[in-house]
Amino acid sequence: MNKTVSDLTIIKNTRLNHDNYLLELQSYIKLEGIIPGQFVNILVSDSQATFLRRPFSIFEVNYHQNSISVLVKVVGPGTEKLSSLKPSDTLNVIFPLGNGFSMPMAKEKILLVGGGVGIAPMMQMAKDSRELGAEVHILLGARTKMDHILIEEFSRFGTVYLTSDDGSVGVKGFVTNHPVLLQNNGFNQIYCCGPEPMMKAVAKKAKELNVRCEVSLENAMACGFGVCLCCVTKTTGGNKCVCTDGPVFNINDLSWPI
Amino acid sequence: MNKTVSDLTIIKNTRLNHDNYLLELQSYIKLEGIIPGQFVNILVSDSQATFLRRPFSIFEVNYHQNSISVLVKVVGPGTEKLSSLKPSDTLNVIFPLGNGFSMPMAKEKILLVGGGVGIAPMMQMAKDSRELGAEVHILLGARTKMDHILIEEFSRFGTVYLTSDDGSVGVKGFVTNHPVLLQNNGFNQIYCCGPEPMMKAVAKKAKELNVRCEVSLENAMACGFGVCLCCVTKTTGGNKCVCTDGPVFNINDLSWPI
Amino acid sequence: MANLSINIHKLELKNPVMTASGTFGNGTEFDDFFDVSQLGAILLKGTTLHNREGNEYPRMAETPSGMLNAVGLQNKGIDYFIRHIYPKVSEYKTNVIINVNGSTVEEYIELTEKVNQLDKIPAIELNISCPNVKEGGMAFGTNVKMAEKVTREVRKVYEKTLVVKLSPNVTDIAEIARAVEAQGADSVSLVNTFLGMAIDANTMKPVLSTITGGLSGPAIKPIALRMVWQVARAVKVPVIGIGGIMNATDAIEFILAGASAVQIGTANFINPNISVDIINGINDYMEKHKLKSINDLIGGLQM
Amino acid sequence: MANLSINIHKLELKNPVMTASGTFGNGTEFDDFFDVSQLGAILLKGTTLHNREGNEYPRMAETPSGMLNAVGLQNKGIDYFIRHIYPKVSEYKTNVIINVNGSTVEEYIELTEKVNQLDKIPAIELNISCPNVKEGGMAFGTNVKMAEKVTREVRKVYEKTLVVKLSPNVTDIAEIARAVEAQGADSVSLVNTFLGMAIDANTMKPVLSTITGGLSGPAIKPIALRMVWQVARAVKVPVIGIGGIMNATDAIEFILAGASAVQIGTANFINPNISVDIINGINDYMEKHKLKSINDLIGGLQM
Ligand SMILES: Cc1cc2nc3c(=O)[nH]c(=O)nc-3n(C[C@H](O)[C@H](O)[C@H](O)COP(=O)(O)OP(=O)(O)OC[C@H]3O[C@@H](n4cnc5c(N)ncnc54)[C@H](O)[C@@H]3O)c2cc1C
Ligand SMILES: Cc1cc2nc3c(=O)[nH]c(=O)nc-3n(C[C@H](O)[C@H](O)[C@H](O)COP(=O)(O)OP(=O)(O)OC[C@H]3O[C@@H](n4cnc5c(N)ncnc54)[C@H](O)[C@@H]3O)c2cc1C
Ligand SMILES: Cc1cc2nc3c(=O)[nH]c(=O)nc-3n(C[C@H](O)[C@H](O)[C@H](O)COP(=O)(O)O)c2cc1C
Ligand SMILES: Cc1cc2nc3c(=O)[nH]c(=O)nc-3n(C[C@H](O)[C@H](O)[C@H](O)COP(=O)(O)O)c2cc1C
Ligand code: FES
Ligand code: FES
């Protein structure tokens, strides 16, 4: 769909754990053809500390009820404010933004890797990929058991694997320590979102395994729709905007030293 | 009491009419010896448009329940935000500030004149004056009947007279058109708060009648406790701070051309 | 509808609202949001003779009521522009203005000569105030002699409307404005960004890859407004006001201070529709104040 | 508790947190809120030789993340100060510094000579940057020659610590800093306020009686921080950072940029206790980052 600036109404705000909230937003503009990996840019009004909008991945789209949801991890004043909102509060949102993931084909075996709040774009991705007939595997990494959220929801769409830094759940260590990534499991594609060091490690692994891999970057943004040129990342084709040419990039196009 | 910076909790927010709200605030610091005409300076957090605090007259003090209330007229972003607050929300407040009115003696006949939201400091003034044994008369001016609020509450402490610009209630015209001010009614003192032109007109009248008169000014303030020197008014003794030397001034001390 | 049209030298604006260079892409990025032909003019992003990759990421820091940027004139160069972007933007039914940048006077001249060939570009904005490049940029705008020189030389090769964009990072901006006016500038636009800096106390490092960057947004509005007021009293050519304009009231303040037109910058990031909203807001204000023509508002500050 | 003590020339500070002149009254106004002796130093409000009534009301305009003031050095003059205020403030167990103002070099000298007699005043801050007075003030701070002259002449009559307070309304603040250092300044403090303006679109009038005023508050922080960083690299004397510091993190940013101490201004209006909170916040930060002495933090920016 075309980019739009629109007031969305909060239908539901669910506290998932100590610092993660799931906001469900009603749209009055008809939602159509949103691609997993696209994002929204939210104006956090009424907060002295937030001048610019705040970008969030689209966590899930519900075309039936014409709503989208975003997963918000509280890290500063903007996310703090968002986490405190209540049903019937409204948010001014620009969406849908960015390119989104390239979708797998039927029968393809894919691995979605999400670290921390980087799991956000993976829910819709898992759902849509499953619908397209792909075989979906989902590897989720977090610091501790307490930080792992939405495992059940993910497992509706694929096989879930877990890692935790402290070993309190799943395999101890980073996602790249998990056997599912260590061994060549015949994945056709790997999709990854999380902290940059994690994405680089996964990209490196994918390269070794010779598997096509896309990562979703989270560079700091001022506009979100390609006019300020603040969010650039180096690519083989020069500096590209993460907000329009991304946030999803094929790792081969990035100038990462991997 | 000494000036303090303290978080007060909203106990009640009552909508009085289309643009006036009465906020009742619980204090955890013991309230004592607050003088009618003193004010509080409220931090409106969570609003992009309000950097400085917002001053409000102390409308009423309830020593029993250790609370104070303020009357808020919505005129801009700060007052808008305050009007939207709910019980259990907290406000950071500096109080009590300013000098307050000189209290009448027992048996004195006094007239309190309030125009618009200038009625705010008059409630506690009426209450305390009545308690001191003064004979209290209260003249309230507003634009229309709809803008008149709290008449019943005022009438608990004295005789209430009304004017309205359009004549929809009380005497038509400004407060200075009301017979109670036009004739010499033997008032010992007149106390006035409202828009500056009104206060000047009342001051002029008081001078003609040769009645002692105090007015409460509302100059724009940055600090509220005498350090920025932004809020000055010209007096016979040079520029004085409205926030510390006032807000209440004897009209003879002001350099008003009356 | 009040009459909002105003001329800046030969440039005919249907209303005084333009978008600021570097904050509006090539205009086409706004097609999804509104018809940019409604604007008085659009300023394209800073253009140079050759392709420039700009500075390293991070290029942005949020600040209280503002932001720092260190983009550093990333653009594909004028030839790419002429081939790929010009055909699209020349379809717009509004004035499309190129923001011209160079690191030497010769570069400014060569670029201007190329732009001069473009029929559908009725004006250039000579950017002598970019704080984010190592060579040229702000150095031209903070030195009277250099500002004079580059204006004089560009004037020689350009006959259409020449706007010179001034830097606020100076002791006396009116002096620079008078100097470029004397060398033939048809208008001055101000302000570009203020040189600022952000530090991340946690990492103990500068936030921007370039350490310093340009401050924009409402934070700078009071200073920009003062400068526009000073310059409008110092020069005879029309002044274009820029700096922290977020709504119609802000725009009106600049016009009252003496600006004949305004540019909307950072506000576009926060509300992509803001520039049309501002046109409507100015119209409403004029109707409320019973002003028939925008000329009645320009410099209308009462003292 | 980390070691927060630091010396500025002969001035011994128990911590690097001072309050900025004109925002802290005479200190006594804060007695209800906290014990001001906890501070590294307090800067008294701008003092002149003779009584000054200051400018007409209105003197203040709120702006995005900041405020404009046009107080214009209202004070009762040095003789009144010596008689009525000095006895009180000299009781404080911290450094009490006078902010010295004049409209001529002679006035600066005469005032300094009087202050020199006061045992309990270990330093003066020479204000050559007040934007709100018709004569003198900022004119001294925006001109190298004049800044040099007033510093040189005052230096001749003053042997205690001489801090010169710089104006940010200049093209090259490092140049001015170097100039006053060469003339004997023991330290420079920066920045004073930025010249700005506010207009009320409704009334079409300037908000301030003086039309322009001085901008302070977080809005100016990114520019002030950049200037402190530039000056700290340009001079050898200690630098005192000022401008929009609202919390400990802001203060730490200035110290990382090279400031040996900081001054808290407008923040005092919003939270009268902020200066002590900032001392505690700096201490917490140093403990968290395992820094033993404030010297380890000064200029600690990693690039
Ligand atoms: C395309 C995109 C998609 C995103 N999707 C999500 C999502 O689905 N869920 C979610 O919770 N968050 C997501 N983020 C991150 C989210 O935008 C930030 O957490 C948010 O803007 C922080 O705002 P704040 O005011 O709470 O904190 P701030 O005060 O702005 O920041 C707090 C801390 O986080 C750091 N930080 C903030 N933004 C970024 C960034 N973009 N890159 C690196 N560091 C940063 C700051 O430097 C600071 O240290 C996404 C970001 C992008 C660019
Ligand atoms: C000592 C004192 C006591 C006060 N008591 C009360 C009270 O009891 N109840 C109440 O509702 N209000 C009171 N006020 C006024 C109140 O402080 C302002 O209405 C409030 O600060 C406006 O904030 P805002 O953000 O809503 O509007 P802003 O955006 O700050 O202002 C909206 C409009 O009101 C004007 N304005 C704001 N403050 C003042 C002022 N001080 N003088 C003149 N014009 C002003 C502005 O110029 C603007 O046009 C008092 C003011 C003072 C100084
Ligand atoms: C991200 C960004 C990029 C900019 N690029 C340019 C540019 O290329 N050329 C130019 O003259 N000004 C550039 N500017 C300055 C703006 O045009 C404008 O002068 C400045 O931002 C102040 O206006 P504002 O506060 O409304 O944003 C840029 C500003 C920003 C924020
Ligand atoms: C109301 C007010 C009055 C001031 N008076 C003086 C003064 O008398 N002398 C002086 O050197 N600076 C004066 N200043 C400037 C401050 O000391 C400080 O340099 C400036 O406000 C920037 O710091 P801030 O952003 O923390 O306020 C004044 C500032 C304000 C806001
Ligand atoms: S965030 Fe502005 S171009 Fe990407
Ligand atoms: S408001 Fe600051 S002195 Fe009165």
Q: What is the CATH number of the domain that holds A62?
A: 2.40.30.10
- Secondary structure string (H, E, C) spanning chain D: CCECCEEECCEEECCCEEECCCCCCCCHHHCCCCCHHHCCEEECCCECCCCECCCCCCCEEEECCEEEECCCCCECCHHHHHHHHHHHHCCCCCEEEEEECCCCHHHHHHHHHHHHCCCCCCEEEEECCCCCCCCCCHHHHCCHHHHHHHHHHHHHHCCCEEEEECCCCCCCHHHHHHHHHHCCCCEEEECCCEEEECEECCCCEECCCCCEEEEECHHHHHHHHHHHHHHHHHCCCCEEEECCCCCHHHHHHHHHCCEEEEEECCHHHHCCCHHHHHHHHHHHHHHHCCCCEHHHCCCCCCC
Please tell me whether residues B86 and B136 are part of one structural domain. no
Question: Tens digit of pLDDT for each residue in D106-149?
Answer: 999 999 999 999 999 999 999 998 877 776 777 888 999 999 99
Q: Verify whether the Cβ–Cβ distance C269 to A227 is below 8 Å.
A: yes
Question: What pLDDT band is residue B184 in, cutting at 50, 70 and 90?
Answer: confident
Q: Best interface-test mutation with C: which of D146, D171, D233, D255 has the largest number of C CBs within 10 A?
A: D171
C-beta separation of D175 from D144 below 8 A: yes
C130 is catalytic: yes
* ipTM surpasses 0.90: yes
Distance A95 CA to ligand 5 centre (A): 14
Q: In this structure, is residue A202 part of a structural domain?
A: yes
Question: How big is chain B, counted in residues?
Answer: 258
Q: What is the CATH number of the domain that holds C169?
A: 3.20.20.70
Last residue of a domain, one of B97, B123, B158: B97
Question: Tens digit of pLDDT for each residue in A235-245?
Answer: 999 999 999 99
The token duo for A219 is 């560079």
D247 reaches B (C-beta below 8 A): no
Q: What is the CATH number of the domain that holds B180?
A: 3.40.50.80
**Residuewise pLDDT in 10s, chain C (303 residues):** 899 999 999 999 999 999 999 999 999 999 999 999 999 999 999 999 999 999 999 999 999 999 999 999 999 999 999 999 999 999 999 999 999 999 999 999 999 999 999 999 999 999 998 877 776 677 888 999 999 999 999 999 999 999 999 999 999 999 999 999 999 999 999 999 999 999 999 999 999 999 999 999 999 999 999 999 999 999 999 999 999 999 999 999 999 999 999 999 999 999 999 999 999 999 999 999 999 999 999 999 998
The token duo for C177 is 């404005």
Q: In this structure, is residue A258 part of a structural domain?
A: no
What is the pLDDT, as a whole number, of residue C130? 80
Q: Which of C18, C61, C130, C188 is catalytic?
A: C130
The token duo for C65 is 């009521």
Coil/strand/helix, residue B144:
coil
Mean pLDDT of A81-106: 96
Domains in chain C, number: 1
Looking at chain B from residue 31 to 50, which residues have their Cβ under 8 Å from any Cβ of chain A? 45-48
Q: Which domain holds residue A34?
A: 4-97
C-beta separation of B24 from B12 below 8 A: yes
Question: What pLDDT band is residue A44 in, cutting at 50, 70 and 90?
Answer: very high
What is the pLDDT, as a whole number, of residue C138? 78
**All partners of chain A with 3 or more CB pairs under 8 angstroms:** B, C
Contacts with D257 (C-beta within 8 Å, 6 or more apart), sequence order = C197, C199, D225, D228, D229, D232, D241, D299, D301
Please tell me whether residues B20 and B119 are part of one structural domain. no
What is the pLDDT, as a whole number, of residue C139? 81
What is the pLDDT, as a whole number, of residue C129? 87
Q: In this structure, is residue B103 part of a structural domain?
A: no
What is the pLDDT, as a whole number, of residue A136? 96
Please tell me whether residues A150 and A182 are part of one structural domain. yes
% of chain D exceeding 70 in pLDDT? 99
Q: Verify whether the Cβ–Cβ distance C252 to D218 is below 8 Å.
A: no
Please tell me whether residues B246 and B118 are part of one structural domain. yes
- Secondary structure string (H, E, C) spanning chain C: CCECCEEECCEEECCCEEECCCCCCCCHHHCCCCCHHHCCEEECCCECCCCECCCCCCCEEEECCEEEECCCCCECCHHHHHHHHHHHHCCCCCEEEEEECCCCHHHHHHHHHHHHCCCCCCEEEEECCCCCCCCCCHHHHCCHHHHHHHHHHHHHHCCCEEEEECCCCCCCHHHHHHHHHHCCCCEEEECCCEEEECEECCCCEECCCCCEEEEECHHHHHHHHHHHHHHHHHCCCCEEEECCCCCHHHHHHHHHCCCCEEEECCHHHHCCCHHHHHHHHHHHHHHHCCCCEHHHCCCCCCC
- How far does Cα D55 stand from its chain's mean position? 20
Task: State the angle between helix axes of D248-256 and D221-234 in degrees (0 to 180), rounded to the nearest 10.
Answer: 30
Mean pLDDT of B239-258: 95
- Name the residue of chain B whose CA is nearest to D25's CA: B227
Mean pLDDT of D213-241: 98
Question: What pLDDT band is residue B47 in, cutting at 50, 70 and 90?
Answer: confident
Please tell me whether residues A190 and A157 are part of one structural domain. yes
Q: In this structure, is residue B167 part of a structural domain?
A: yes
**Short-list A172, A168, A152, CA closest to A160:** A152
Distance C57 CA to ligand 3 centre (A): 17
- Lowest mean per-residue pLDDT among A116-120, A181-185, D25-29: A181-185
C-beta separation of D196 from C226 below 8 A: yes
Q: In this structure, is residue D1 part of a structural domain?
A: no
Q: In this structure, is residue D302 part of a structural domain?
A: no
d(CA D268, CA B223): 8
What is the pLDDT, as a whole number, of residue A204? 94
Distance C131 CA to ligand 1 centre (A): 27
C-beta separation of C169 from C194 below 8 A: yes
What is the pLDDT, as a whole number, of residue D105? 93
Q: In this structure, is residue A224 part of a structural domain?
A: yes
What is the pLDDT, as a whole number, of residue B257? 87
Please tell me whether residues A76 and A130 are part of one structural domain. no
Beta-strand relationship, C194-197 and C212-216: antiparallel
Q: Which of C30, C54, C63 sits opposite A239 (nearest CB)?
A: C54
Please tell me whether residues A136 and A50 are part of one structural domain. no
Please tell me whether residues A130 and A166 are part of one structural domain. yes
Q: In this structure, is residue D303 part of a structural domain?
A: no
Q: In this structure, is residue B258 part of a structural domain?
A: no
Q: In this structure, is residue A161 part of a structural domain?
A: yes
Of ligand 5's listed atoms, the one at least distance from the Cα of A227 is 3
Residues of chain A with C-beta less than 8 angstroms from the C-beta of C69: 222, 228, 230
Contacts with C265 (C-beta within 8 Å, 6 or more apart), sequence order = C19, C20, C22, C23, C216, C217, C242, C243, C245
Question: Tens digit of pLDDT for each residue in A125-183?
Answer: 999 999 999 999 999 999 999 999 999 999 999 999 999 999 999 999 999 999 998 87
Domains in chain A, number: 2
Please tell me whether residues A113 and A133 are part of one structural domain. yes
Mean pLDDT of B192-203: 96
Please tell me whether residues A132 and A84 are part of one structural domain. no
Q: In this structure, is residue A198 part of a structural domain?
A: yes
DSSP string, A160-209: EEEEETTSSSSEES-GGGSHHHHS----SEEEEES-HHHHHHHHHHHHHH
Across all residues in chain B, what is the average pLDDT?
95
Please tell me whether residues A119 and A226 are part of one structural domain. yes
Q: Which domain holds residue C61?
A: 6-296
d(CA A55, CA A40): 6
Please tell me whether residues B187 and B74 are part of one structural domain. no
B54, pLDDT greater than 90 = yes
C-beta separation of D85 from D61 below 8 A: no
What is the pLDDT, as a whole number, of residue A27? 97
Shortest Cα distance, chain C CAs vs residue D39, angstroms: 22
How big is the A-B interface in CB pairs under 8 Å?
A: 14
What is the pLDDT, as a whole number, of residue C297? 97
Residue labelled with tokens 């570069």: C107
Last residue of a domain, one of B73, B97, B121: B97
Q: In this structure, is residue D250 part of a structural domain?
A: yes
C138: buried, middle or exposed (CB in 10 Å: 19+, 13-18, 0-12)? buried
Ligand nearest to the CA of C201: 1
CA distance from start to end of chain D: 28
% of chain D exceeding 90 in pLDDT? 95
**Any ligand 4 atom below 6 A from CB of D19:** no
Q: How many CA atoms lie within 13 A of B39 on its CB side?
A: 29
Tell me if the pTM is above 0.80. yes
